Amino acid sequence: MDSTLREAYGDKAILLTGGTGFLGTALMEKILRSLPDLGRLYLLVRPSREKGARERFDKDVLGSTAFSRLRESLDDGFGPYISEKVRVLEGDVHSPDLGLGGEDLAELSREVDVVIHSAASVVFDAPLDAAVNSNVGGTLGLLNLAREWEKRPLFVHVSTAYVSGVRKGLIPEDPPGDASPNGTALDAREEALKLQGIVDEVDKASREREFLNRFETEARRELGMVGEEDEVAERVDTLRRAWMRERLVERGTQRAKELGWHDVYTFTKSLAERTVLRERGETPLVFLRPAIIESSVKEPSPGWIQGSRMADPIIMAFAKGILREFPGDPESLVDIVPVDHVVNATLAAAIRRPEKPEVFHVASGDRNPLRYRDLYDHVREYFVENPLRDSGGRPVPVPEWSFPGRRRVEGRLKLELIGLKAAGEILSRLPDGHMVADLRGRAARAEKRGRMSLYYSRIYGAYANMSSTFSTARTARLFKDLVPEDRKEFPFDIADLDWRKWLHTTHLPALTTRPNRKKRRRAVQEKPGEIAAIFDVDGTLVGSNVVSYYAWMRLWELPPHQRPLWLAGFLPRIPYYWALDQVSRAHFNRAFYKNYRGWKKSRARHLGQESFSGFTLDRIYPGALARLREHKAEGHRVVLLSGALDFLLEPMRDMVDDVLCTSLQEEDGAYTGELRGAPVAGEARARMLASFARRRNLDLSRSYAYADSISDLPMLEAVGNPVAVNPDRRLAAQAEERGWAVRHWNKNGVAPDKV
């Protein structure tokens, strides 16, 4: 090559897809900084729910630390330079005509010299329909447009080296053939139709009555008695789509492995290559196949990374002591390449106009091999010297791996998960209670760690057991053919990289301190949800409990001479109820409310009204009432959330905005003694509050909750401002540990703090 890349791109126009992603952002930054003579960069950006394309570009792309260097060098000229060079097009590769209008399409046809298609689904276990639509459908739609444009632009398809699938030996830089990696004859068009048939089959199955009934039962259990019909229907559809997703992940992975690919990602990327090869017509075509892309060596800044790349979760799980072993062949190649190498190779390849399709592997295995054992040694050495810290500030010890092999690692994890599942089933049958809840939490956390380890093994294990090496002979020649000036400005010779130095001084510090990651901005709602003040009743608002209410009502309706006899029969049962409540508030509620079996609804409502004037008013805490009124004055929505029965709380409705409570099932106008829905206690209380908050547009992160018992802990955890009122011993300990506000209200009227 006689001219520089800067000269070759002079007055040219590039259309880039995937510009908001990791590789796309790095590509755009390098183009704008090192190719200032480029005529125009067209960027296709899909709008999100919250932002239009232009806002996404301004905030998510230009707001990235990737552009810090360019922004500093141009200073006040940064904005005008971006406006001159970049044209943001709001569209989507999945939409007909990219979602663009006629004028935009005509301009692209006249102007574009190079199409760099970087947009793709890079999820290794994506649902089959999403992977096909993104990786195959979107690619084909873009190609069909580009091949008709006036300038017959070069089409650069950013693929992956792993389209080779499960193969042994040296993988040449060749376009795909007519067979799958295991030798099965494969027609891309017929295969795409077969995959669509699988999607249709799963969708039809998800709508069968058997499954819809199951989803409805689960939805009603989750939402409890406050779930309205439209909310139940919405939850049923969510559960149906989640079921579909799981089946499509399974079916896609199954089909990929049947044909010799690791996963649905590499399978659909290969189908995209085959489809483009077949449908390109006279369009000049280049396949750019990077291996595992990780943080930069040098540009846009050392260690720059965005999001979580393939090796990162495994490295961080190891550093946190979670991964006790990972199934990899210690002598297998781990093919990693820095993102700036991929960017520079892409730009070097994108000035070509080959008569026949060309393939470039951007990989490291054949010229600078990094073995799995070497990677482990480098990573372990780093975290021994620079350990992560636990919540108490203590260094986390990193495990020492023995590389027992994939079968043994996964076998041990499966046995561990079987044991944890059995333990979980036993615990699920025990009455709800605080000790049981703690055991359930521990078992759930252990199961989560086991499932995460097994997931990593299944998804990434194949990449640590590779039997193939990607040839980079063509890519090496591409770099060698650059003029000396470009070899310095656009380096991508992997042989120059010192793995230990890059890992210890650049990549691992970037993972642990994340100084150069794009920071996710919290979405600021234009209309924030309403603030609520949620009050428990018994023990919090009123110095009473459900047992006292029941006893008062029974005594009130009895003639005076019968009251001692009734008390003599009732009082011996109180220790039993007290012990039951210590074990489980939900279990207590179910047992105690059986006392109302046979009560007429009219009788209950009448006694509820009488109890308010004769019992409740004398027991309301003045401090609680003052706090309730302050919340009303602040414009907050005041809600009573209680395990007490509805007819007892009915007289309080005038004091508040909403009452969420327990009600009993009825039969022929009388109560059966059975609850409608789950007891309003523990996790059920938190679910009830979450459901109510969604329907009323409440912002729980800014809301308040007041409660007195450890059984109310999930409700208090659900809000941003929890307050423990007259807390029992266990809740007091939790409040102290978490730094929550504690209030002591009594009938003497202790004044509360201001809201």
Q: pLDDT tens across 137-175, in order?
A: 999 999 999 999 999 999 999 999 999 999 999 999 999
CB 712 within 8 A of CB 730: no
Tokens of 201: 């089959």
421: number of Cβ within 10 Å? 13
Supply the range of the domain harboring residue 225.
191-259
Round to whole Å and give the CA distance between 71 and 593. 68
The CATH number for 101's domain is: 3.40.50.720
The residues near 578 (Cβ < 8 Å, ≥ 6 apart) are none
Peptide bond preceding 80 in cis form (omega within 30 of 0):
no
CA distance 592 to 57: 60
570 shares its domain with 696: yes
Query: Rounded CA gap, 151 and 2, in Å?
Result: 23
> Could you tell me if 46 and 157 lie in one domain?
yes
With tokens 């206690």, the residue in question is 681
Q: Are residues 61 and 138 in the same domain?
A: yes
Sign, CA torsion 86/343/76/113 = negative
Instruction: Dig out the tokens for 97 from the structure.
Output: 């005509």
Sign of the CA dihedral 431, 434, 437, 443? negative
- The overall longest dimension of the chain from CA atoms, in Å, is 114
Give the three-state DSSP class for 313: helix
- Separation CA 345–CA 423 (nearest Å): 53
Helix pair 229-259, 264-279: axis angle to 10 deg: 70
Tokens 């930054």 found at: 29
CA–CA dist 186, 202 (Å, integer): 23
Residue 378 domain flag: no
Residue 142 located in a structural domain: yes
pLDDT for res 536: 92
Q: What is the pLDDT of residue 289?
A: 97
pLDDT of amino acid 43: 95
Lookup result for tokens 């639509």: 133
- The residue whose two tokens read 């890519």 is 475
Whether residues 71 and 219 share a domain: the answer is no
Answer whether 26's CB lies under 8 Å from 300's CB. yes
Q: Which of 484, 513, 542 is the last residue of a domain?
A: 513
The answer to whether residue 131 is domain-embedded is yes
Pairwise CA distance, residues 591 & 588, whole Å? 5
Q: pLDDT tens-digit profile of 121-146?
A: 777 788 899 899 989 999 999 999 99
Q: Of 286, 331, 353, which is closest to residue 469 (Cα–Cα)?
A: 331
Cα 250 from Cα 231, distance rounded (Å):
29
One-letter identity of residue 123: V
The single-letter DSSP state of residue 134 is I
| CA-to-CA separations, 57 to 44, 87, 206, 444, in angstroms, rounded | 10, 10, 38, 40
Q: What is the dihedral of CA 627, 628, 633, 636, to 10 degrees?
A: 120
Domain identity same for 605 and 695: yes
Give the C-alpha separation, 382 to 725, whole Å.
48
Q: Say whether 714 sits in a helix, a strand or coil.
A: helix
Question: Using DSSP, how many helices (H) and how many strands (E) does the chain show?
Answer: 31, 19
Dihedral angle over CA of 632, 635, 637, 639, nearest 10: -10
Q: Are residues 491 and 606 part of one domain?
A: no
| CB contact at 8 A, 706 and 627 | yes
Supply φ then ψ for residue 548, to 5 degrees: -65, -40
Q: What is the pLDDT of residue 279?
A: 93
pLDDT in the model for residue 514: 54
Q: Are 295 and 507 in contact, with CB atoms under 8 Å apart?
A: yes
Q: How many CB atoms lie within 10 A of CB 422?
A: 11
Does some domain include residue 34? yes
Give 659's Cβ-side CA count (13 Å radius): 18
Residues 393, 497 contacting (CB under 8 angstroms)? no
Residue among 162, 405, 161 nearest 260 (CA): 162
Residue 429 DSSP symbol? H
Q: Name, in order, each residue with C-beta under 8 angstroms of 708's C-beta and a sequence gap of 6 or more.
A: 536, 538, 539, 540, 724, 725, 726, 727, 728, 731
DSSP string of 229-252?
Answer: HHHHHHHHHHHHHHHHHHHHHHHH
Of 455, 460, 463, 464, the closest CA to residue 413 belongs to 455
Is 254 found in the same domain as 265?
no
Residues with Cβ < 8 Å from 39, sequence gap 6 or more? 10, 11, 12, 13, 111
**Structure tokens given for 228:** 């309205």
Instruction: Residue count of the chain, please give it.
Output: 755
| Residue carrying the six token digits 């004859």 | 185
* Residue that finishes a domain, picked among 206, 226, 259: 259
Chain centroid to CA 424: 24
231 with 354, same domain: the answer is no
Q: Record the tokens describing residue 623, joined without a space.
A: 């401090």
Q: What SS3 class is residue 589?
A: helix
| Structural domain includes residue 201 | yes
Tokens of 37: 């003579």
If asked whether residues 265 and 255 sit together in one domain, one would say: no
Pairing relation of β-strands 658-662 and 664-667?
unpaired
> What is the predicted pLDDT for the residue at 523?
39
Residue ranges, the chain, pLDDT below 70: 1-2, 222-228, 308-309, 391-392, 406, 427-438, 440-441, 514-529, 678, 748-755
Q: Where a domain ends, among 513, 547, 580?
A: 513
691 with 726, same domain: the answer is: yes
Token pair for 39? 């005529």
The DSSP secondary structure of 11-57, one letter per residue, reads T-EEEEESTTSHHHHHHHHHHHHH-TTB-EEEEEE---SS--HHHHI
Any idea what the CATH number is for the domain that residue 546 is in?
3.40.50.1000
Contact 267, 126 (CB under 8 A): no
Same domain assignment for residues 14 and 157: yes
Indicate whether 420 belongs to any domain. Answer: no
Within a domain: 523: no
* φ/ψ of residue 612, rounded to 5: -65, -45
**638 in Cβ contact with 619 (< 8 Å):** no
Domain count within the chain: 3
Do 350 and 245 lie in one domain? The reply is no
**Hey, what are 81's tokens?**
């330079």
For the four alpha carbons of 199, 204, 209 and 210, in that order, the dihedral sign comes to negative
Inside any domain, residue 135: yes
Task: Name the DSSP class of 288.
Answer: E
